[in-house]
């Protein structure tokens, strides 16, 4: 049986791993400060969760794209469920253990592996027990259904945030009403009150974060591009875990300034840039280092990720914080390209990105547990073919290494780079 001490050890191990990575793997000199800041941010996130577990503070577990800025403003400790499970699996090597536990619960391989692993982790009591479970329908049916199971596994109350598919004034008003109900629920469960001044402060900072990400994206257009292959995964983590937080502002400003200096001096993320890649969806997280080496070897860099980092709008209003929180859920790139029917606008953005970032080819990581994105692969490929951008589709899984051996993935990537070389 796993005890509370085991749960404490696992979270402590994540904190130690974040700090060890920074020390044992010296980052590129030109990105040294931002790299160190990033791992310190991760360590601080999980250290806060660890301390909350020890002190008995109120913990709210929440799924991806949930407005955790509301939790920060209420003084509630957030636990991003998918990211926490990914981190535990990748840093501690717990994929097999938690996925096996998920299978014991009856979750089949076709279900999103982060959610299978997440359920397994809570089933094994490998994570702190949350006081409440919060989830929504962003951006898929896996997320929409997982909250009910997690409530049962943790024997805690929960709240489902219903986010409309379309963006209109009526639907934003509806979502504002949903968020108000959630705040009432949290106040009753936690005994804590919303600090509206703090929420307004976080909204102002979130708008600044979006603008900083837009500046970073502009810098990535440079030839050679200054941003490393999987650097965008850090941008995702910053938005997922630290919305509106001052430490995220420091990281984004530091990264922007470092990239601007590289562009000014004509430095790229790789020594000899040969291939500028558009990344569609997320590659296997357990292969981060492996893929980084392949891209370095072939002089390849991911210059744009339309489904994840292409922020098109900002303009959040701190004087109307709840409406701004609702509005942000419609601005996130994943919402535009992965939630609801795929619109021509999203395809147009992909084409424009290919032109703006001088893309040589695209890679679509076909995560088998993500049915709604895999359903769009042919549409995206045909669209890119019209502008003479070849696309490689790689079958994979974000967490489960048994789906596609890394040797096969390497062979496919190498063949794709050879194709690009011949063009």
395-414 pLDDT, tens digit per residue, is 988 888 888 888 999 999 99
Token pair 């257009």 is found at 221
| Exposure string over 72-105, b if 16+ CB within 10 A, otherwise e | bbbebbbbbbbbbbbbbbbbbebbebbbebbeee
Give the residue-averaged pLDDT of 273-284. Answer: 93
CA distance linking residue 227 with residue 295, whole number of Å:
12
CA distance linking residue 83 with residue 61, whole number of Å:
11
pLDDT-derived band at 25, boundaries 50, 70, 90: low
3-state secondary structure of 4: helix
Give the residue-averaged pLDDT of 67-95. Answer: 86
User: What's the CATH fold of domain 197-422?
Assistant: Rossmann fold (3.40.50)
CA distance linking residue 397 with residue 420, whole number of Å:
25
CA distance linking residue 355 with residue 353, whole number of Å:
5
pLDDT-derived band at 155, boundaries 50, 70, 90: very high
Q: Please, what is the Cα angle at 16 between 77 and 59, to 5 degrees?
A: 15
Half-sphere exposure of 362 (CA within 13 A, CB side): 29
Phi, psi torsion values for 197, nearest 5 degrees: -65, -40
Q: What is the DSSP letter of 25?
A: S
3-state secondary structure of 361: strand
Give the residue-averaged pLDDT of 250-266. Answer: 96
Name which of 55-69, 74-88, 173-187, 300-314 the model is least confident about: 74-88
3-state secondary structure of 189: helix
> Using an 8 Å Cβ cutoff, are 159 and 134 in contact?
yes
Q: What is the pLDDT of residues 92-119, one digit of tens each?
A: 766 788 889 999 999 888 888 888 888 9
pLDDT for the residue numbered 45? 93
> Using an 8 Å Cβ cutoff, are 391 and 373 in contact?
no
Give the residue-averaged pLDDT of 176-195. Answer: 97
CA distance linking residue 206 with residue 249, whole number of Å:
9
Structure-token pair, residue 26: 């010296």
Q: What is the pLDDT of residues 282-302, one digit of tens each?
A: 888 888 889 999 999 999 999
Give the residue-averaged pLDDT of 54-82. Answer: 94
Q: What is the DSSP letter of 36?
A: H
Q: What are the extents of the domains in the chain?
A: 4-192, 197-422
**In angstroms, what is the C-alpha Rg of the chain?**
21
Name which of 46-50, 186-190, 272-276, 413-417 the model is least confident about: 46-50
Give the residue-averaged pLDDT of 247-273. Answer: 96
CA distance linking residue 11 with residue 84, whole number of Å:
9
Q: What is the DSSP letter of 129?
A: P
pLDDT-derived band at 3, boundaries 50, 70, 90: very low
Report in angstroms the alpha-carbon separations of 173 from 153, 167, 176, 204, 315.
33, 10, 5, 20, 17
CA distance linking residue 403 with residue 369, whole number of Å:
11
CA distance linking residue 150 with residue 135, whole number of Å:
10
The strand pairing partners of 304, in sequence order, are: 278
| Exposure string over 351-366, b if 16+ CB within 10 A, otherwise e | bebbebbebbbbbbbb
The strand pairing partners of 85, in sequence order, are: none
Token pair 């219903």 is found at 162
Task: Indicate if the pLDDT at residue 2 is higher than 60.
Answer: no
> Using an 8 Å Cβ cutoff, are 147 and 63 in contact?
yes
Name which of 4-18, 113-127, 197-211, 311-325 the model is least confident about: 4-18
CA distance linking residue 116 with residue 143, whole number of Å:
11
pLDDT-derived band at 244, boundaries 50, 70, 90: very high
Task: Indicate if the pLDDT at residue 27 is higher than 60.
Answer: no
Asked if the domains at 4-192 and 197-422 fall in one CATH topology, the answer is yes
CA distance linking residue 66 with residue 74, whole number of Å:
15
Which strand (E) or helix (H) includes residue 146? helix 141-154
Name which of 41-55, 198-212, 384-398 the model is least confident about: 41-55
pLDDT-derived band at 5, boundaries 50, 70, 90: very low
Q: Report CA 260 to chain centroid distance, whole Å.
A: 24
Task: Indicate if the pLDDT at residue 199 is higher than 60.
Answer: yes
Report in angstroms the alpha-carbon separations of 124 from 1, 104, 112.
8, 11, 18
CATH class of 4-192: alpha beta
Report in angstroms the alpha-carbon separations of 68 from 76, 114, 195, 388.
9, 19, 14, 41
Q: What is the pLDDT of residues 112-148, one digit of tens each?
A: 888 888 898 889 888 889 999 999 988 777 888 888 9
The strand pairing partners of 132, in sequence order, are: 60
pLDDT for the residue numbered 1? 41
pLDDT winner (highest mean) among 65-74, 115-124, 143-152, 330-339: 65-74
């Amino acid at each position: 049986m796993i005890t509370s001490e085991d749960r404490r050890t696992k979270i402590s191990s994540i904190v130690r791993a974040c700090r060890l990575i920074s020390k044992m793997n010296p980052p590129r000199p030109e990105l040294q400060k931002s790299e160190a800041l990033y791992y310190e941010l991760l360590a601080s996130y999980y250290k806060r969760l660890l301390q909350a577990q020890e002190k008995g503070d109120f913990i709210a577990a929440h799924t991806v794209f949930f407005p955790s800025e509301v939790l920060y403003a209420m003084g509630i400790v957030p636990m991003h469920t998918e990211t926490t499970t990914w981190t535990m699996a990748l840093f501690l090597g717990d994929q097999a253990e938690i996925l096996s536990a998920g299978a014991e619960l009856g979750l089949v391989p076709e279900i999103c592996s982060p959610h299978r692993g997440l359920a397994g982790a809570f089933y094994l009591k490998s994570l702190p027990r949350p006081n409440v479970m919060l989830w929504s329908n962003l951006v898929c049916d896996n997320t929409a259904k997982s909250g009910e199971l997690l409530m049962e596994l943790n024997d805690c109350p929960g709240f489902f945030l219903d986010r409309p598919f379309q963006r209109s004034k009526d639907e934003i008003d509806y979502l504002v009403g949903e968020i108000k109900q959630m705040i009432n629920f949290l106040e009753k469960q936690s005994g804590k009150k919303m600090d509206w001044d703090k929420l307004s402060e976080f909204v102002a900072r979130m708008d600044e974060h979006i603008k900083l990400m837009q500046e970073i994206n502009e810098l990535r257009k440079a030839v050679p591009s200054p941003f490393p292959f999987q650097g965008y995964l850090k941008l995702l983590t910053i938005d997922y875990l630290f919305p509106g937080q001052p430490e995220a502002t420091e990281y984004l400003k530091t990264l922007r300034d470092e990239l601007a200096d590289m562009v000014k001096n004509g430095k790229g993320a790789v020594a000899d840039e040969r291939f500028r890649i558009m990344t569609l969806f997320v590659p296997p997280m357990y292969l981060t280092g492996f893929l980084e080496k392949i891209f370095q070897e072939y002089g390849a860099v991911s210059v744009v990720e339309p489904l994840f980092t292409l922020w098109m709008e900002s303009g959040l209003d701190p004087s109307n914080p709840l409406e701004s929180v609702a509005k942000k859920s419609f601005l996130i790139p994943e919402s535009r390209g992965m939630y609801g029917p795929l619109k021509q606008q999203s395809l147009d953005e992909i084409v424009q990105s290919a032109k703006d970032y001088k893309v040589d080819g695209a890679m679509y990581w076909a995560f088998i547990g993500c049915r709604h994105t895999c359903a769009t692969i042919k549409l995206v490929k045909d669209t890119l073919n019209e502008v003479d951008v070849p696309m490689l589709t790689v079958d994979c899984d974000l967490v489960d290494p048994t789906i596609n051996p890394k040797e096969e993935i390497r062979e496919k990537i190498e063949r794709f780079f050879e194709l690009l070389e011949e063009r």
